[in-house]
Chain A
């Protein structure tokens, strides 16, 4: 006969084992095998990493990805901050509608959102027709297969990840602090700069880290909207696997990408609340 404590432990184990075993077999082992592959080249354990970091072509892809990510992050935060502020001023039905407006795009496949931008940004598409029609442009611009197209597409996909943490943070700001600042004679601009902005910075930080982290691994959007010069690390990995069959190099590039993500998470762990953004959906 089992004691009560032992049978309780047995039930706990039975509840957790399927998930842990599944993740071990379907996730930890495959990632481990890929790591081993990147480390067991005949030329030496770290030769694949040296190949990638020593090649001007490959490092340029990494640099491009980081620069693109920083630009997307900056634009997403600049667009997201006032939008999040507007959400804090809304009530009732308007608030529900606006929040759903931020959440719903997250449910739409990245592939569809990117395809929609192809239709809109085409040479003879609506965006170009509008810009030429209103006289802003003299001739249709080549948005597709360029930096501009990738930027527009990626900001569109990642913007909700900037808005949601900033909004969550702004909701926690005590509005009496602004009244106090106001009462003490500060100008609206000074109140914003000295009181509201610093208090909303944790949200901005979380949103920025989130957008940047996700942008580092982007594949579909840059692959469809970008040109030959817009290769990201994810596209490089795909290219190494499918076109060049250079598995060890692809594995090394994968772990350099993963290392960058983990390093950024470790540095920002103090103020980034991962769960806020995960539960957002």
Chain B
């Protein structure tokens, strides 16, 4: 241990802790900012008040955007989970080269810069009549959510022993029954994790949404984007704080699912 003396350890832990604090604390600045009384944000607030929360929930436009966000996220999540789970199950049934090619296709929307996909979708969806619709936005979000469902379900499929399936089949179970009683229980944590992640990815997505939302389908981040370019009002901090609250809940749910997945893959011999 001589090569790692005390002073060095103190320096590393001090520096690392400072970096972690710098990652987390700035995000929390929006919470006190949302509790300002005045129309300008001062940090910390000169007078504390919850009146901007009242303003947020009394404002039709902000509420509509919140509802739109939930609609888009719900559709995007259901489509991603159904398609993604099926794809993950299909991928383990094909040869290595086809699997690599299909995985590449599924991951491609994460590699192509979002601005490029956004412009491409904006250009084509105008002629397809999908701009400014909840459906169009949800379909765009599926591109970003699907890869994570496939990855998450894929990881939990690693915990599925093929012998269990063979045993069930040998005992005369139909494919549907094998899926419901053997496959589904094993991949459920991965599926749940993928769903939670999809929901949050869709809820947070800004760039594609800015292009595709139009006037009819503004999500919460689109509304925030429009307002933040005009003025820095405490109502923006309220929207941010609400989104952070939702994110904390989703993050905890995801970690719980991830812990279940890890436990599942470890039990496999």
A257–B123 CB distance below 8 A: no
- Which residue of chain A has the shortest Cβ distance to B16 in the bound complex? A86
A33-70: CB near B (< 8 Å → 1, else 0) gives 11001000000000000000000000000000000000
Asked whether B122 lies within 8 Å of A16 as measured between CB atoms, the reply is: no
Interface residues of B (CB under 8 A from A): 2-5, 8-9, 12-13, 15-17, 19-20, 22-24, 26-30, 33, 41-43, 79, 82-84, 86-87, 89-91, 93-94, 102, 105-117, 119-125, 139-140, 142-143, 146-148, 150-151, 155, 175, 197, 200, 203-204, 206-207, 211, 221, 224-225, 228-229, 232, 236-237, 240, 243-244, 247, 250-251, 255
A108 within 8 A of B: yes
Does the CB pair A112–B27 fall under 8 Å? Answer: yes
Partner of B3, one of A18, A33, A178, A251: A178
Q: Taking each of A178, A254, A258, A278, which has the highest tally of chain B beta carbons within 10 Å of its own beta carbon?
A: A254
- C-alpha gap A116/B29 in the complex (Å): 6
Residue with the highest number of chain A CB atoms closer than 10 Å, among B107, B108, B116, B117: B116
Contacts of B86 in A (CB 8 A): 14-16, 18-19
Instruction: Decide: A83 near B228, CB < 8 A? Known: A119-B41, A120-B29, A237-B119.
Output: no
Q: From residue A22, how far is it (CB to closest CB) to chain B in Å?
A: 6
Top 6 nearest A-B pairs (CB, nearest first) are: A217-B113, A86-B16, A15-B90, A109-B204, A16-B90, A19-B87
Bound form: Cα–Cα A279–B261 in Å: 13
Contact B84 A101 (CB under 8 A): no
Q: Report the nearest A residue to B42, measured CB to CB.
A: A124
In the complex, what's the smallest C-beta–C-beta distance from A4 to chain B, in angstroms? 11
Of the candidates A26, A191, A241, the one whose C-beta lies within 8 Å of that of B142 is A26
Instruction: Choose one: A15, A118, A220; the contact of B87 (CB below 8 Å).
Output: A15
Residues of chain A at the chain B interface (Cβ within 8 Å): 8, 11-16, 18-20, 22-23, 26-31, 33-34, 37, 79-80, 82-83, 85-87, 89, 98, 100-105, 107-113, 115-120, 122, 124-126, 156, 159-160, 178, 181-182, 187-188, 191, 216-217, 219-220, 224, 233-234, 237-238, 241, 247, 250-251, 254-255, 257-258, 261-262, 265, 274-275, 278-279, 281
A103 to chain B, nearest CB (A): 8
Q: Chain B's nearest CB lies how many Å from the CB of A59?
A: 18
Please give the distance in Å from A278's CB to the nearest CB on chain B: 7
State in angstroms the CA–CA spacing of A278 and B155 once bound together: 13
Q: Are B33 and A119 in contact (CB under 8 A)?
A: yes
Q: B251 to A238, Cβ gap below 8 A?
A: no
Contacts of B28 in A (CB 8 A): 116
A120 pairs with B26, CB closer than 8 A: yes
Whether A254 pairs with B116 at a CB distance below 8 angstroms is yes
- Shortest B140–chain A CB gap in Å is 7
